């Protein structure tokens, strides 16, 4: 009865999983708006906890590095006290480092943003004059474009200036309410961030306890081999996720620094603001460089078109350097996805969860891809089908492959059953003799029963001497 029950259980589990997958795909396609709304409500309510998990995840790598040094420096005989002290000190050091980095970034970004806004607002009339000059120059150089557009350019600029003046004065109340709501949202976000820092301290201090509780749940719900399989899969997924996130953050930091150095040398304005924008958006694979470079080039185009062109050329060179040298050196093989699957992950993650979804979509998709690939490979190995081909539809090649595999298996069996013809000085000879207990290799010096009489003439005279 047990095999029958097991078979029916597998059939039921397969049907349930298939139905759940169909419902999930249907919900994502036709009920995407409702799912996003529900997900946004959950994330808003759990924002402090999510901030705490994210901060703890970022700080854990720093904590491990600091704790490794503290273990060498602190000399305490009680291992439990030493471990707790090292963990507490490493958490404090990592939090100070984290907050110092945030303060440094804001101290660099906010003044640059404020100066850029003041310069931009104060130069609006100048930008309008330059735009008129560029358009007039373009129309003189391209006569057919002048005949096509006619006098519509003046009308367009008049409408734009009228919209700016009348629109701002007419909607001043809406602007004030929008600014005030933005300030309130920023305050809530800052409060959630501070609560998240406190939660991250508890998570980092009790990391091992949480891991032990998770293992306890797994071994209580699943068989030992299945629980070990799940734990191994989770460790592999964590390795993929860690490799991508930490590598991408380091890569983006290096790109931001190189961008700042290059823009400073080229004397391009707003170097700090543009470098931060390029570095932050670089964490998004493939699409990130364009997301950061397009608005930066537009800002520079209003100030100086020549500088904007130089910036575009510089960003192209920098991104080629990142894609061909810096990125592969830091990320290694990356997440094991081709460019096609990365684009698919970006489209799905961006459409569902925006910029954050585009960042986390690639490692999550890589984990799912790795899981599906391992399941398929195990099924193929169980059915004795080669993973990389040939496959059964290639009949002649597949049969030749099977014959070759059978010949190799038969040869291995013959080698196992063949008598050993090694020499006494071979290591394997002594191992075989010791296992088999043959004469001359074991601890006993007595010959076996079927070895025949011992030839006493072969015994040396030195061995016959009486002990002194």
Which residue is listed with tokens 């029950």? 5
Residue 17, helix vs strand vs coil: helix
Query: Looking at residue 146, what is its pLDDT?
Result: 58
Query: Looking at residue 145, what is its pLDDT?
Result: 58
Region 202-216: mean pLDDT is 89
More confident residue, 459 or 92: 92
Confidence of residue 96 (pLDDT cuts 50, 70, 90): very high
Chain segment 387-401, per-residue pLDDT in tens: 877 888 888 888 888
Q: How many angstroms from the chain centroid is the CA of residue 423? A: 54
CA 402 to CA 390: how far, in whole Å? 10
Query: Looking at residue 447, what is its pLDDT?
Result: 46
pLDDT at 434 over 50: no
Global pTM reads: 0.63
The answer, yes or no, to whether the previous bond of 390 is cis (omega within 30 of 0) is: yes
Chain segment 259-278, per-residue pLDDT in tens: 989 999 988 888 888 888 88
What one-character-per-residue DSSP string does 146-159 give?
A: HHHHTTHHHHHHHH
Among 65-69, 194-198, 248-252, 371-375, the range with the most confident prediction by mean pLDDT is: 194-198
């Amino acid at each position: 009865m047990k095999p029958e029950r097991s078979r029916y259980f597998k059939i039921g589990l397969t049907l349930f999983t298939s139905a759940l997958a169909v419902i999930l795909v249907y919900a994502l396609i036709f009920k995407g708006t409702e799912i996003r709304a529900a997900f946004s409500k959950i994330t808003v309510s759990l924002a402090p906890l999510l901030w705490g998990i994210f901060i703890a995840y970022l700080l854990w790598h720093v904590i491990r590095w600091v704790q490794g040094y503290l273990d060498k420096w602190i000399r305490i005989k009680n291992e439990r006290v030493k471990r707790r002290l090292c963990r507490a000190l490493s958490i404090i050091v990592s939090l100070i480092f984290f907050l110092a980095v945030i303060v440094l970034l804001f101290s660099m970004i906010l003044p640059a943003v404020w100066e850029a806004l003041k310069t931009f607002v104060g130069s609006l009339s100048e930008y309008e004059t330059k735009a008129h000059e560029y358009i007039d120059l373009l129309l003189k150089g391209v006569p057919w474009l002048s005949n096509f557009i006619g006098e519509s350019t003046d009308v367009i600029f008049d409408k734009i200036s009228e919209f700016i003046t009348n629109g701002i004065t007419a909607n001043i109340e809406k602007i004030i309410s929008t600014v005030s709501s933005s300030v309130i949202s920023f305050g809530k976000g800052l409060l959630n961030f501070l609560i998240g820092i406190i939660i991250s301290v508890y998570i980092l201090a009790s990391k091992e306890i949480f891991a032990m509780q998770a293992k306890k749940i797994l071994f209580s719900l699943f068989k030992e081999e299945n629980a070990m399989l799940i734990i191994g899969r989770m460790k592999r997924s964590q390795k993929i996720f860690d490799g991508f996130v930490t590598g991408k953050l380091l890569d983006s930091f290096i790109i931001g620094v190189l961008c700042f150095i290059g823009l400073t040398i080229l004397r391009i304005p707003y170097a700090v603001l543009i470098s931060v924008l390029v570095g932050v958006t670089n964490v998004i694979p493939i699409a990130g460089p364009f997301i950061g470079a397009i608005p930066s080039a537009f800002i520079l185009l209003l100030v100086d078109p020549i500088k904007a062109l130089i910036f575009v050329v510089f960003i192209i060179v920098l991104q080629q350097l990142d894609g061909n040298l810096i990125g592969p050196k830091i990320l290694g093989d990356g997440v094991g996805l081709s460019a096609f699957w990365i684009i698919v992950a970006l489209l799905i993650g961006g459409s569902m969860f925006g910029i954050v979804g585009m960042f986390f979509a690639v490692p999550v998709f890589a984990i799912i891809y790795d899981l599906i690939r391992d399941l398929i490979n195990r099924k193929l190995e169980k059915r004795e089908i080669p993973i990389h081909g040939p496959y059964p539809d290639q009949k002649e090649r597949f049969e030749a492959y099977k014959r070759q595999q059978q010949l190799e298996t038969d040869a291995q069996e013959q080698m196992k059953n063949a008598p050993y013809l090694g020499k006494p000085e071979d290591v394997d000879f002594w191992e075989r003799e010791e296992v088999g207990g043959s004469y001359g290799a074991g601890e006993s010096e007595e010959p076996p029963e079927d070895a025949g009489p011992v030839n006493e003439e072969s015994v040396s005279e030195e061995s016959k001497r009486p002990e002194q």
